[in-house]
């Protein structure tokens, strides 16, 4: 069976129902709702969007706030981070989203092993509380674009094995994290056993320290990604996070042959 590749933008331009209708009319399959600076949507609007999406059938996800560090040395910051993720899980349950994506944290003064242990403990706590409250989205910690951040691909695959969470693979972040060297065949070989993969993609500017900013997505980079996704038959949803996420998502959809 040929793998299905769904494509959509990061951001909806707000919570108006017509924004979601236009996304569907344009031929896109998905959208990630950006709560990166806080959960701005009302529960009433979320319910209306969920009702509409029963007809549209867009693959919905949420990006949680940037202000998350599950490996902080300060317990108050860890608690606040958990609360932000749980708020997104609550809203995501109303919306009917599949994933809540978040940047897990920073190594800071801990070893990579200690950071993994600490973040795993917090993810399990969040999952336990989410289960008690009947929240339905899956947690999806994201691969990150700097070596100072927790979140290389192997760490997240291991986190998935040990906690049962999902993951978000940001290919642009991986390119930046590894200073432009991205081995798609090696990555796809690791992803293939995991089933459906939630992904981010865009152009990226980086230095020796990693990610600086997202850029518009070049056609050659789109074609390279699609070539390897098809070669390894990876079933995935790709959210475009460029400065023009809608335009670049449409560009990607057009080049998906």
**Over residues 35-57, mean pLDDT:** 96
Q: What is the pLDDT of residues 59-107, one digit of tens each?
A: 999 999 999 999 999 999 999 999 999 999 999 999 999 999 999 999 9
Position 100 scores a pLDDT of 98
Closest CA relative to residue 151, chosen from 183, 112, 186, 189 = 112
- What residues have CB less than 8 Å from 19, skipping those under 6 apart? 12, 13
**Over residues 244-249, mean pLDDT:** 96
- What residues have CB less than 8 Å from 151, skipping those under 6 apart? 103, 104, 141, 142, 143, 144, 173
Please give the CATH superfamily to which domain 5-255 belongs: Divalent-metal-dependent TIM barrel enzymes (3.20.20.150)
Position 14 scores a pLDDT of 77
Entry pTM? 0.96
Position 160 scores a pLDDT of 98
Provide the mean pLDDT of the chain.
96
Position 109 scores a pLDDT of 93
Position 247 scores a pLDDT of 96
- Is the pLDDT assigned to residue 179 strictly greater than 70? yes
Position 228 scores a pLDDT of 97
- Is the pLDDT assigned to residue 227 strictly greater than 70? yes
Position 55 scores a pLDDT of 97
**Over residues 21-31, mean pLDDT:** 96
- Is the pLDDT assigned to residue 159 strictly greater than 80? yes
Q: What is the pLDDT of residues 103-136, one digit of tens each?
A: 999 999 999 999 999 999 999 999 999 999 999 9
| 1 confidence band (pLDDT: 50, 70, 90) | low
Rounded Cα distance between 167 and 178, Å, is: 19
- What residues have CB less than 8 Å from 6, skipping those under 6 apart? 29, 30, 59, 236, 237, 238
Position 43 scores a pLDDT of 97
**Over residues 225-253, mean pLDDT:** 97
**Over residues 174-199, mean pLDDT:** 95
How many CA atoms, within 13 angstroms, populate the side-chain half-sphere of residue 77?
13
- Is the pLDDT assigned to residue 233 strictly greater than 90? yes
- Is the pLDDT assigned to residue 58 strictly greater than 90? yes
């Amino acid at each position: 069976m040929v793998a299905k590749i769904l494509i959509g933008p990061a951001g909806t331009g707000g919570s108006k129902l017509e924004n979601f209708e236009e996304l569907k009319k344009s031929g896109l399959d998905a959208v990630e709702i950006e709560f990166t600076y806080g959960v701005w949507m009302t529960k009433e609007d979320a319910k209306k969007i969920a009702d509409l999406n029963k007809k549209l059938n867009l693959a919905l996800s949420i990006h949680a706030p940037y202000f998350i560090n599950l490996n902080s040395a300060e317990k108050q910051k860890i608690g606040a981070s958990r609360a932000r993720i749980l708020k997104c899980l609550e809203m995501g349950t109303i919306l009917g989203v599949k994933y809540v994506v978040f940047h897990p944290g920073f190594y800071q003064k801990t070893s990579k092993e200690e950071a993994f242990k600490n973040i795993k403990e917090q993810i399990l706590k969040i999952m336990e509380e989410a289960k008690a409250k009947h929240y339905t989205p899956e947690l999806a910690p994201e691969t990150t674009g700097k070596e100072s951040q927790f979140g290389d691909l192997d760490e997240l695959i291991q986190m998935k094995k040990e906690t049962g969470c999902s993951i978000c693979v940001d290919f642009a972040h991986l390119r930046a994290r590894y200073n432009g060297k991205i081995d798609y065949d090696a990555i796809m070989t690791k992803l293939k056993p995991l089933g459906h993969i939630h992904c981010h993609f865009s152009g990226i500017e980086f230095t020796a320290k990693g990610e600086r900013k997202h850029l518009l997505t070049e056609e050659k980079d789109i074609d390279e990604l699609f070539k390897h996704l098809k070669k390894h038959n990876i079933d995935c949803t790709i959210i475009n996070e460029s400065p023009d996420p809608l335009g670049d998502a449409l560009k990607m959809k057009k080049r998906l042959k």
